Structure 1
Amino acid sequence: MNPRIAQTSAPLIDTLAERWSPRSFDTEHSLPEGALRGIFEAARWAPSANNSQPWRFIIARRGSESFAKIESSLLGFNQTWAGNAAALVVNIAETEDAEGKARPWAEYDLGQAVAHLSVQAQSEGLHLHQMGGFDREAIRTAFELEARFLPVSVTAIGAIGSLEQLPEALREREAAPRVRMPLEDLVLLRD
């Protein structure tokens, strides 16, 4: 039994069952021009309230100035491994439109867009790890974001690397079997 494949209580499509969030990225892997187009096209076609599409992305390849800005905003253990990814992406919710009208579902809609892009990435042989451990204000400042743009998460994208490049504490987490709460614990009411 492969510990990286989800052990599910109902059948899933292979792309979902095989998707996981590695911390070990191949430092030799780089993304050729256009390699990310498909995954962001998947994000573009995600559903959103009133078709508002309140998501924006900052995409930075390893070695660029923008990548360094994003990497420096990462907190804790994220700084020890995420810099090995081929790209870092800041996922941003547009919480107000250009006229100042609130978009109360923007973060939810962004989550759907990122979910779509993560499934597309998996189907294209790329791996992602999403992070909440970053300094939101550092991102705002580094990229001069307007107040209506809320950085919500950062995603590392690339090919899987070796466990040996991770600190010992992270190696154990990386190799551990995937676990989730039982489905019955997630459903609050079923009629």
Structure 2
Amino acid sequence: MSNQTAADRLAATTFPVLDVIRNRWSPRAFADRPVSEETLQQVFEAAAWAPSAMNEQPWRYIYAHRTDEAAFQQLFDCLVPGNQLWARHAPVLVLALMKTEYANGKPNTTAMHDLGMANSHLILEATALGVHGHFMGGFDADKARATFGLPTNLEPVVMLSLGYLGRAEQLEEPFLSREQAPRQRHPVAAFAFSGQLPN
């Protein structure tokens, strides 16, 4: 797969779903091609229109283009070493955070769900624009808090690399094999049940 494309990784779904969902996947190989600020703002605009409890919109994003070396390095340094091996080539790094309190100071128990909705909007918009992303739980949240001086009510949740598809062969193992492995999902019958969960 020397020149992988979204079509190469198109999900083989059991039931018909939107093409943008079938096209979305999580590459680690990125092309040496920048993502424009205009494109990135469009992607964040999509996140803005996600649903949220009380319309609180508790998501926050800190991002940096690789061309902004100092800002990119701050985000990059928060990643665990295993993710740094490949994410260093990503044109954009993003830290996604959730505001854990409502404006009135009460706990927002659905904030993580709402951030997930925003992230889903974001990544599908990116996919529609030919930009792919890889969400990463492997990062040092405490380091992120210290680096960015985060208040106690702002929680780092996940990091994201964004960019255009590169060549799988630019990756070393074990990432090369993961990049080329068949895409798999549990069947709907394994997680969606009518009326109640099975015994």
The TM tier, using the shorter chain, reads over 0.9
| Structure 1 residue 69 displacement after superposition | 1.1
Measured against aligned partners, the alpha-carbon deviations of 1:120-173 in whole angstroms (never above 9, x if no partner) come to 000011000000000001111111110100010001000111122211211111
- TM-score normalised by the chain length of structure 2: 0.90
Aligned equivalent of 1:97, options 90, 102, 117: 102
| Structure 1 residue 76 displacement after superposition | 3.9
1:39 aligns with 2:19: no
Name the SS for the 1:89 alignment partner.
strand
Distance in 2 (CA, whole Å) between partners of 1:45 and 1:98 is: 19
Residue type of the alignment partner of 2:116: G
Unaligned stretches of 5+ residues in structure 2: 1-6
| Structure 1 residue 31 displacement after superposition | 2.0
Residue of structure 1 in register with 2:33 after alignment: 29
Distance in 2 (CA, whole Å) between partners of 1:149 and 1:143 is: 11
Residue pairs, 1:1-191, within 5 angstroms: 4-26=9-31, 28-64=32-68, 65-187=70-192, 189-191=193-195
Name the SS for the 2:38 alignment partner.
coil
| Structure 1 consecutive aligned stretches of length 4 or more whose deviation exceeds 6 Å | none
Residue of structure 1 in register with 2:3 after alignment: none
- TM-score normalised by the chain length of structure 1: 0.94
Residue type of the alignment partner of 2:55: N
Unaligned stretches of 5+ residues in structure 1: none
Percent identity, aligned pairs only? 41
Residue type of the alignment partner of 2:62: I
